[in-house]
Chain A
Amino acid sequence: MTTGSHNHVQTARRRGELVTPPMMISRMFVLLGGLLTPTTGCASDAPRVEAAASSPNTVAPSVESVPMLELTIRSADDVRTVTSALRQAALDGVPAATVHIDADRLDRITFQVGGTMTAPLMDLTIEGTGALHHSHVSLRGSRVTVRGLTFVGSPGTGDALQVTARDGVELTDLSFVGQSERTASRSRRRGARSGGRALSVWAHGPETTAQLTNLVVADGTVSPAVSFGGKPGGRFGEISLSHAVFAGTTAPVVHVSAAVGLSLDGVWSDAPEGAVTTVSPAIVVLGDVAPLSASTPALDRARGLHTAPEQSP
């Protein structure tokens, strides 16, 4: 199974060894007025890995330094500032950034990174343990990693999480509950759609890697709940989907329109018939979707968040 070729930069990052360089830290503090704080690696003696900014994932890293940015969102008010910081960092050639969402719950936020086609691509990591209600997160980068978040309800526009990546996508420990498609049109003379899927993942490279692990998608009325597509010229290699639960959603729950193949490992759905569809038999699907007959702790947790009352603005 193809799971992506993680190079040394990624390996180092997982160990928490990548740091924000002092120059970038000072710039960020000027930018953000101290609102946002680097969360790791301020010490100048921390191990560093340096990679060429123009091709961070292809040059063998040396142990020196890596210009990686770390930012934190603690409230909806931080979103605009963090977005600005990420935009500027990309223009400055910073190859990687991590955003920590340090909040139990955020309501109706729109968090978008890489919104122009001409902006340089960064490696992006978004992680947290909280719930984003009626929110839209759209990430466009070279490698995009999202961990730990729960998406509750549909945003007004777009999908709850939309990821476009050139090199690779890694989605881990994510839950989606209550996404439903917005009405396309009630007028014959209009016709613009507005989205509403739980998760859409887009390849923008010739063989973008995709690994999804520990996924819960529940109680949605939009089909498919999860979509894998290709931007012009883009296609996934083999998509790996492991340990996923689809409950109370409309089949098909997964649709693939641009990939060499899809590998399923431990995927359950209460609508297993036709749960996975592809545009072509040329997209090879390995593994099966098993019938889901009982609830799971992760499913219960997601559903519990869905029924929680909305916070006051």
Chain B
Amino acid sequence: MIGYQRQTDQDTGVSSYGSEVQQSGPQQGPGNAARSQQLQGRGPGNGRNPSDYADGDGNQTTHTDVGSGNAVNTPDTPQPTRDMGERELRPLATDAAPLELAGTPTVGDLYEERALTGECEGDWVLVTGILGSPDAPSLLMERDESTIFVDNTPTIDDIHQGYIGDCYFLSALTSITQSDPGHIRDMFTLSGNSVKVRMYSHDAASNSWVERQINVDMNFLHATDGAGAAGEMLASGFRMGETPSNARWYVSAESEDMAWVCSDATYEFALWVPLLEKAYARFAERFGQYGGNYSGDANGRTNDDGSAKSGYEVLEGGWTQYCFGILYGAAEIDNSDLSIVYDAEATDSEQVEANLDFIANLLMVNGTDVPDDQAFYMSLSASSYDITQRLGEQIDHILGLDSVKRHESFQKTLRWVKALCAKFMDAEDNGTEDDVTEAGNKVSDACTRFTEPDAWPILESGRDEGAYTNLRDLAQVAQNIGTDASDGRRLTYSQHAYPVLGVTLRGADGAALGLDTSSLQTRHGEIDADQSSVEFRNPHGTNEPDFDGAGPADGEDDGVFSLALSQVFGVFSLSEQALVQT
């Protein structure tokens, strides 16, 4: 990697790094003086990309462009073939004179056909069949270069985490996209094949946020194969529009051959997510993971040997709550974190009482008690340590129940898994990274004993205040501690940030309670934690809870799912939240 070239602004004496990074207007924070400067110079990275690096498997990465084949929803385009025998066809739209149409044409718009006359006068051509149809043409899909959004609107469906460990950042983007999509749109300025992305760094001297315009191009991070050619896309995935924004329709027909119904279609690609991810990596190379703020909580920008990290490495693993400053600047009002309390021996109502602040924050995600010009964002996660600790405590609790007494083999398995959990926690406290990995794999393997279908029927029972179903839930999370299992059974992943989309608090009769943060304090006893639900979206854009490996309950694995509030208490241990001015 080339070294940084340090540039100093002559007017202000404020130093910074970067080439295409421009500082525009100042963000007025408390006690700040207004400043304005334009930074020049070269920074690290390749042109308008963050630095390439070797990924976790030691493979070098590179940046290259993307096409429709990289989209998460590339349409399947089988073309029907109609054997016509020998007939005559006259194209009405040709490559030289195509039909420009965003929608679907009729056959009559594209060609005429008739029985064989043997004359083929004018434009008539003898063909043996026709490949494709107006509904399923031979499709050439190209990117609509005029936009980085589908329908000019960012949506949470656009967010699909790739192979970079930035779920916390994508969780923040999900929340903003849901409540303040205009803010996302306003961050981007598209200019040809490059994009300026507005972010904010923090200036410690003035305690203020400084606007930065990060320039990036349309090439995205890919793995390379052994020969250095681009392989799998590592950057965040993207969605393309379901229908083309425009298309050139025509029929290609040569004598005594098949005719083709063709569509050279232009689709909108929602590239804003991988663009923002890449801009964040460039930003992180220059200003740090959280823009110079909260640096004690951030990944460093240099390796142990003093060399600079790629921005992608800087943003690997982090906190959601600290991302809102770099995305909102001085419009961020507050951020915080809160532990979610779980007690294996507590009743659901006791869990509710122990988590009233958390539940109040959940209500604020709905907009309850939040002024119209503000938005409240929340993301939940659980450390693997917490999951194993809770699993061990749940096992302890169950071993003390009368209902487990006659299940000797089950008790034996419980004690075995508890011992493995203790070893994992000890490895996290005192061991090496390899120790942690080995112990985590053992916990994962062992927990499949609880999660296999029909492993023990008692796990499906609601006996003893849900003690057994709680055990099953924790085992569902723990079974993926040591893996990156994207297929198969799961509930939620530990060490993974899940944005909260909303909450519905219900009473025992299933009716919504309509609480606000104030009435919650006196009416929390009415909350039924099994009936109440919290809605999430996995930043993967897929991998919803799936107990039996047969797919999510709603049949659509788009990442959006709900958990009962009683499950949320168990499988999440940390809530991060932020309040912003919209």
Contacts and interface: CB of A to CB of B under 8 A. Distances in A.
A189 B161 contact: yes
B191 interface: no
A258 B357 contact: no
Interface residues of B, number: 82
Nearest to B342: A110
Given A80-B353, A112-B339, A187-B165, A192 B497 contact: yes
A117 B579 contact: yes
B517 A117 contact: no
Interface in B473-488: 482-484, 486
B295 A156 contact: no
B318 A255 contact: no
Contacts of A153: 429
Contacts of A279: 202, 204, 292-293, 295
B296 A229 contact: yes
A153 B428 CA distance: 11
Contact of B293 (A91, A140, A193, A258): A258
A163 to B, nearest CB: 12
B383 interface: yes
B496 A313 contact: no
Given A157-B573, A192-B168, A280 B361 contact: no
A185 B318 CA distance: 10
B9 interface: no
Given A153-B429, A190-B167, A283-B204, A232 B339 contact: no
A38 interface: no
Interface stretch (B17-25, B142-150, B329-337, B408-416): B329-337
B360 interface: yes
Given A157-B573, A194-B495, A185 B165 contact: yes
Given A189-B484, A191-B316, A231 B335 contact: yes
A118 interface: yes
A164 B386 contact: no
Contact of A158 (B162, B521, B540, B574): B574
Contact of A136 (B293, B339, B350, B484): B339
Interface stretch (A81-89, A98-106, A295-303): A81-89
Contacts of A178: 429
Main secondary structure of the interface of A (DSSP, over half): loop
B521 A189 contact: no
A242 interface: no
A131 to B, nearest CB: 16
B218 interface: no
A235 B205 CA distance: 10
Given A112-B357, A153-B429, A257 B319 contact: no
A18 B498 CA distance: 45
B372 to A, nearest CB: 15
Interface string B346-386: 00001001101110110010000100000000000111111
A6 interface: no
B433 interface: yes
B356 A156 contact: no
Interface residues of A, number: 63
B297 A157 contact: no
Contacts of B4: none
A83 B354 contact: yes
Interface string B383-422: 1111001000100100000000000000000000000000
A186 B338 contact: no
Among B31, B429, B437, which residue has the most Cβ atoms of chain A within 10 A? B429
A194 B295 contact: no
B296 A255 contact: yes
A191 B389 contact: no
A74 interface: no
Contact of B386 (A157, A189, A190, A257): A157
Contacts of A188: 55-56, 163-165, 484
A67 to B, nearest CB: 18
A84 B356 contact: yes
Nearest to A164: B336
A191 B296 contact: no
Contacts of A191: 164-168, 316-318, 495-497
A255 B295 contact: yes
Interface string B560-576: 00000000000001100
B338 A138 contact: yes
Given A153-B429, A229-B297, A257-B293, A190 B493 contact: yes
A183 interface: yes
A123 B534 CA distance: 33
Nearest to B441: A186
B207 interface: yes
B484 A158 contact: no
6 contacts: A80-B354, A183-B428, A189-B162, A232-B325, A232-B332, A255-B295
Interface of A: 80, 83-84, 87-88, 91, 108, 110, 112, 115-119, 136, 138, 140, 153-158, 164, 178, 180, 182-195, 197, 200, 204, 206, 224, 227-233, 235, 255-258, 278-280, 282-283, 313
Given A117-B336, A182-B383, 17 more contacts: A80-B354, A87-B356, A91-B518, A91-B521, A115-B338, A116-B364, A118-B360, A154-B385, A178-B429, A182-B384, A184-B165, A186-B437, A187-B496, A189-B540, A192-B319, A233-B30, A280-B204
**Closest 7 A/B residue pairs (Cβ):** A115-B357, A191-B165, A227-B296, A282-B205, A280-B204, A194-B383, A184-B317
